[in-house]
């Protein structure tokens, strides 16, 4: 039974990072609007930002729930997947250059 919750934790962790990167994509889109800042729509109106928030919250809920049903010592160690997924999403979602430095 805990194997399923371990998977839920991994998916949740990846979703948290995907959500953050999609939210940043929305912020980037908002910043690129050719309008004075005071005339730009509220960031909450940017679709990428909205999607990012939903994915982020869903991932956070999944991760939180998994800690109640799987060994916390194992789940804590699996948290490193967040660092790897963040690098991957920064590269593919935000088109940022990834360096070793």
> What pLDDT is stored for residue 38 in this prediction?
85
Burial of 92 (0-12, 13-18, 19+ CB in 10 A): exposed
pTM (predicted TM-score): 0.88
- Which range marks the domain in which residue 73 is found? 2-92
Q: How many folded domains does the chain comprise?
A: 1
Note the pLDDT tens digit of each residue in 12-69.
999 999 999 999 999 999 999 888 888 889 999 999 999 999 999 999 999 999 999 9
Question: In this structure, is residue 43 part of a structural domain?
Answer: yes
Give Cα 65 to chain centroid, integer Å: 17
> What pLDDT is stored for residue 61 in this prediction?
98
Question: In this structure, is residue 68 part of a structural domain?
Answer: yes
């Amino acid at each position: 039974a805990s194997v399923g919750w371990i998977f839920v934790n991994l998916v949740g962790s990846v979703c948290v990072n995907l959500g953050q990167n999609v939210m940043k994509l929305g912020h980037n889109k908002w910043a690129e609007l050719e309008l004075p800042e005071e005339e730009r729509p509220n960031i909450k109106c940017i679709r990428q930002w909205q999607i990012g928030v939903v994915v982020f919250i869903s991932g956070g809920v999944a991760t939180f729930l998994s800690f109640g049903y799987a060994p916390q010592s194992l789940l804590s160690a699996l948290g490193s997947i967040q660092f790897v997924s963040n690098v991957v999403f920064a590269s593919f979602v935000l088109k940022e250059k990834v360096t070793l430095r």
